[in-house]
């Protein structure tokens, strides 16, 4: 007779795993996990859209006249008001003798957009070689008829639908978020301004104009992008090379198709060097872990770190995701300035009165590791001083968010921040 131990070993064990049921439950859980933040995000955007209609971002805000600085044979001029910038850009196009390179993310079909369309069409009619790049997705709401130009104008529409969009393939999903104008290889513009009536007077943004040898930085950036994305119907642009190397003023270009993202490294390196102050102005500020860590480390070693952002921007979801960083930033000594009554869209920073950047990239995932972007890195005390004046001007239209004030926000707001956090990879 077998022992009790032997009997127990001989007993059959019937364990049936219903993989279909488990798989079905897992799919339901995944759908629910995705649905909650997506639904919350949609609700936030609808609510804020209604609020925006009641309280539009159309308040008057301080601006400064264009300010110029000489940098090693190049005149750098900062613009903080759209009307001033557009007049300078149109004047440059009207005076073009050889070439016009125009690249923009958004190009509205309104009166301002028509002025630019007319100016480049007239330039082409008088024999100027005109090349235009615009982002198809960003302009889906603009009638396609607006982008019908005379046959002399070479037009490249960056495709609206890209094959990597659904799979989040960075190489094949980034948008062309750059804003560049280069005329005759001598005058070049770059910054946050798109083209449109609203941006001319209602948005606070920053653009810079380079007149002189450093215009090559933006000219070369346009040529490389054009040749990378042109089709068989587009002519090849010649890369002329640089006769003058200017280490104090360089263009950093993000190129997702090549997994090249120097703008992020540019910020990290500059922040690590700071010993006195860091002034950052951003439209959408959602720093990744490394940039957040660098800013907190700078504040911990006594650097005066200030970040100026819209109190309410035109992208409410970006605002909510940005607020998810506020607790760590404020508790770590970083000062947050909220721009009031109008949309601030600038993408600038200046550090220690020596280093500055002006360009198209926001400090968020889309700009730093997703889109095609371009920022100038400028090591010059004159430009830094001018940007500090602009920062103080913007501070006069802002209020500082304190840690005590932030802690008093409602429980519902805190819950919403946590619920929306999974949507961060989308921005």
Query: For 312-333, how does the pLDDT look when each residue is reduced to its tens digit (9 = 90+)?
Result: 999 888 888 888 899 999 999 9
What's the whole-number average pLDDT of the chain? 89
Q: What strand order describes the sheet that includes 129-135?
A: 67-71, 74-79, 207-212, 187-191, 180-183, 99-104, 129-135, 154-158
The CA–CA distances, whole Å, from 321 to 197, 203, 268 equal 28, 22, 21
Contact 107, 115 (CB under 8 A): no
* Residue 50 confidence class, pLDDT cut points 50, 70, 90: low
pLDDT at 249: 97
pLDDT (mean) for 116-128? 98
Sequence-ordered list of residues with C-beta below 8 angstroms from that of 241, at least 6 positions apart, any chain: none
pLDDT (mean) for 140-146? 96
DSSP per residue over 31-53, as a string?
HHHHHHHHHHHHHHHHHHHHHHH
Residue % of the chain over a pLDDT of 90: 74
Secondary structure E strands in 72-161:
74-79, 99-104, 129-135, 154-158
pLDDT at 39: 60
pLDDT at 2: 55
CATH topology for 67-246?
Endonuclease; Chain A (3.30.870)
* Residue 28 confidence class, pLDDT cut points 50, 70, 90: low
CATH superfamily membership of 258-426? Endonuclease Chain A (3.30.870.10)
pLDDT (mean) for 157-161? 94
Q: Which of 126, 130, 128 is nearest to 101 (CA)?
A: 130
C-alpha–C-alpha distance, residues 415 and 413, integer Å: 5
pLDDT at 162: 87
Contact 277, 305 (CB under 8 A): yes
Residue 353: CB atoms within 10 Å: 13
Instruction: Tell me the two tokens of residue 216.
Output: 């090559």
Is the pLDDT at 244 greater than 60, yes or no? yes
Contact 344, 283 (CB under 8 A): yes
Helix (H) or strand (E) holding 219: helix 216-229
pLDDT at 419: 64
Is the pLDDT at 48 greater than 80, yes or no? no
For the chain, where do the domains classified as CATH 3.30.870.10 start and end?
A: 67-246, 258-426
Model pTM score: 0.88
């Amino acid at each position: 007779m077998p022992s009790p131990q032997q009997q127990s070993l001989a007993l059959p064990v019937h364990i049936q795993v219903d993989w279909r049921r488990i798989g079905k439950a897992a799919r339901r859980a995944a759908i629910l996990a995705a649905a909650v933040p997506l639904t919350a995000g949609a609700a936030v955007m609808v609510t804020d859209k209604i609020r925006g209609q009641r309280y539009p971002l159309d308040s008057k805000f301080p601006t400064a006249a264009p300010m110029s600085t000489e940098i090693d044979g190049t005149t750098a001029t900062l613009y903080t008001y759209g009307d001033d910038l557009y007049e300078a850009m149109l004047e440059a196009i009207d005076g073009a003798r050889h070439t016009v390179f125009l690249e923009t993310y958004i190009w509205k079909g309104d009166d301002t957009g028509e002025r630019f369309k007319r100016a480049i069409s007239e330039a082409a009619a008088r024999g100027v070689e005109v090349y235009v790049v615009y982002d198809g997705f960003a302009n889906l709401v603009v009638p396609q008829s607006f982008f019908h130009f005379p046959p002399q104008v070479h037009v490249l529409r960056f495709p609206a639908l890209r094959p990597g969009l659904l799979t989040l393939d960075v190489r094949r999903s980034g948008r062309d978020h750059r804003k560049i104008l280069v005329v005759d290889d001598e005058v070049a513009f770059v910054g946050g301004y798109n083209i449109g009536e609203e941006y001319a007077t209602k948005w606070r943004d920053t653009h810079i104009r380079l007149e002189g040898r450093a215009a090559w930085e933006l000219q070369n950036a346009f040529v490389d992008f054009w040749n990378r994305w042109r089709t068989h119907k587009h002519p090849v642009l010649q890369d002329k090379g640089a006769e003058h190397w200017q280490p104090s003023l360089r263009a950093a270009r993000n190129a997702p198709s090549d997994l090249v993202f120097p703008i992020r490294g540019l910020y990290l390196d500059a922040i690590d060097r700071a010993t006195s102050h860091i002034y950052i102005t951003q439209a959408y500020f959602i720093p990744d872990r490394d940039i957040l860590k660098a800013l907190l480390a700078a504040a911990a070693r006594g650097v005066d770190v200030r970040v100026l952002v819209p109190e309410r921007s035109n992208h409410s979801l970006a605002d909510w995701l940005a607020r998810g960083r506020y607790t760590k930033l404020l508790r770590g000594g970083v000062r947050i300035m909220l721009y009031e009554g109008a949309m601030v869209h600038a993408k600038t920073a200046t550090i220690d009165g020596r280093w500055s950047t002006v360009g198209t990239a926001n400090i968020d995932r889309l700009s730093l590791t997703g889109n095609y972007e371009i920022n100038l890195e400028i090591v010059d005390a004159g430009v830094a001083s001018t940007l500090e004046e602009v920062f103080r001007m913007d501070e006069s239209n802002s209020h500082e968010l304190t840690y005590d004030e932030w802690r008093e926000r409602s429980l519902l707001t805190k819950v919403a921040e946590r619920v929306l956090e999974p949507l961060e990879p989308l921005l």
